[in-house]
Amino acid sequence: MFLSSGKITVLGAGSWGTALAIHLASKGYNPILWTYRQNQLEEMKTGRMNVRYLSQAVIPENIYLSNDLEEAVRDAEIIVTAVPSHTLRKLFTNIKPYMDKSAILINGAKGIDENTLQRTSEIYKEIFNENRNFVVLSGPSHAEEVCEGMPTAVVVASKDKGSAVKAQNILMSSSFRVYTNSDVIGVELAGALKNIIALGTGIADGLSYGDNTKAALITRGLAEMVRLGTALGANPKTFSGLTGVGDLIVTCTSKHSRNLRAGIKIGQGKTVNQALKEIGMVVEGVRTTKAANKLSQITKVEMPITSEMYKVLFKEKAPKQGVIDLMARDKKDEMEEFVWDI
């Protein structure tokens, strides 16, 4: 089943991991799709479908399914991680004994560690002692559309240009356009922070506010993302690209967005735990809100939307009161708050 060379493994059989495996299979590769759940493995093997996470997609026969981590990782040339960001530290630790030093790891998870405030590349470097072969995959790319071959454009970022180009070559197709970017910090932060704003726009929808409100949240949310990103060493121009504006738009407006849907439920009166239970999948924006709120305090970067979101999610503040308090803030000059020159 395995390739004698060029072995590609996708770790994580949620919606994104499954979609990426299907995409790679459509390019003629024979990827391994790994899941830690034995029952999910058996269901996928029997029906060639991932019913819980990506029910509309058929898993091609040239995708090898496994729940043996050593089997999946050993001798792999490319390893794609598509697991919840809060599980990455454990996953990186577990694959380290089996991962070839020349392998390239492409990380598709978007988040910030809520305890250490580390980005995913920083967690990787801590465990592997270097991150030259670490590549971040980000951008507006809902799994439901990727697995159907809908035109999609994304970004791969790495400190090593060669690793980014190799990831670009592996992933790019006529329906999946891939750009490279050297700004790892900006790409990681943009991909994580936009989920906070998507939760906020969902809450606004749940409160039955209109398009004006959503546009204001998206625009002012972008300003917060740029301010924090710049303070942490990102290139502000990254936020005007696919992983910034692009991902922000799709996550704040799409029916596929878990963060948007969770926000809607909270705006309609559900508790955070009730909303998460009903979504039934990881909503990255919740943990990221806690992390970003800490980073805002540490860097002294003003992030009023994030601050209000933190109070709603973790301090039981009424969502409607959060909107009222945002609108009642001191007067500002819009142009004084822009930090990038396009």
Which residues are marked as active site? 194
Query: SS3 of 136, please?
Result: strand
The amino acid sitting at 326 is L
- Residue 181 bridge partners (DSSP): 157
- Residue 138 bridge partners (DSSP): 155
Q: Could you give the C-alpha distances from 288 to 55, 240, 261, 307, in angstroms and in order?
A: 27, 21, 16, 12
Instruction: Specify the pairing of strand 152-157 against strand 134-138.
Output: antiparallel
User: Closest by alpha carbon to 152, among 23, 286, 271?
Assistant: 23
Q: Where are the alpha helices (DSSP H) in 102-241?
A: 120-128, 143-146, 161-171, 184-206, 211-231
Q: Which residue spans within the chain are E strands per DSSP?
A: 8-11, 32-34, 49-50, 54-58, 64-66, 78-81, 104-107, 134-138, 152-157, 176-181
| Calpha distance 190→184 (Å, rounded) | 10
Q: Let me know: does 312 contact 319? Beta carbons within 8 Å.
A: yes
Instruction: Specify the pairing of strand 49-50 against strand 134-138.
Output: unpaired
Angle at 260 between CA 223 and CA 222, to 5 degrees: 5
Q: Which helix (H) or strand (E) holds 298?
A: helix 284-299
Structure tokens at 254: 């799409």
